[in-house]
Amino acid sequence: MPASTAARAAVVTTLQRALRLTIRGAYTLDDPGRPQHTVPYRLITIILDHESAPATELAARYNERWEIETTLDELKTHQRGPAQVLRSRSPEGVEQEVRGHQLVHHAIRQLMHTAAEDAGTDPDRLSFTRTLRLARRQVAAQAAFSP
């Protein structure tokens, strides 16, 4: 049998745990942007031990996982730009460039936190992309200013 046919015929078996949860009460997210009614969730995981990872804890952590994914998207897609590669060619240069991107991301997020605090709102309600655009316009305007 050719290698490609064998690869297609290979079957990977993984034990999974399927959870069907209805989040309500203490597990309802306090977020005005989300529906206020209870919503059934389905979550599939390879964590089989229900004592070390209760279903309600997994549901709460799932939301945190997406916050991390969103942060990575902010960094890679919006801040750096789509399809942009790092310019550095040495490992030290790559590390320095990545740290620079992280520092800029932190500065934008700090700006958002301060603005939200001043407005008395949740920082998650502010748009990273809009804040980034505003910061870029301000930096460009500052660079055009002659002392």
pLDDT of residue 25: 40
Q: Could you give the CA distance from residue 97 to residue 90 in angstroms, rounded to a whole number?
A: 11
pLDDT of residue 87: 86
Tell me which long-range contacts 26-33 makes (C-beta under 8 A, separation of at least 24): 27/56, 27/59, 27/60, 29/63, 31/122, 31/124, 32/125, 33/125
pLDDT of residue 128: 92
pLDDT of residue 47: 78
Asked if residues 97 and 87 have their Cβ atoms less than 8 Å apart, the reply is yes
Q: Could you give the CA distance from residue 17 to residue 45 in angstroms, rounded to a whole number?
A: 5
pLDDT of residue 2: 57
The tens place of each residue's pLDDT in the chain, 147 residues long, gives: 555 555 555 555 556 667 666 654 434 445 555 555 566 667 777 878 888 888 778 877 777 777 888 888 898 888 887 777 888 889 999 999 989 999 999 999 999 999 999 999 988 889 999 999 999 888 877 766 666
Residue in 128, 129, 125, 72 with CA at minimum distance from that of residue 102: 72
Q: Could you give the CA distance from residue 62 to residue 68 in angstroms, rounded to a whole number?
A: 10
- pTM of structure: 0.58
The SS3 call for residue 22 is: strand
Angle 77-83-84 from CA coordinates, rounded to 5°: 85
User: How many CB atoms are located within 10 Å of the residue 22 CB?
Assistant: 11
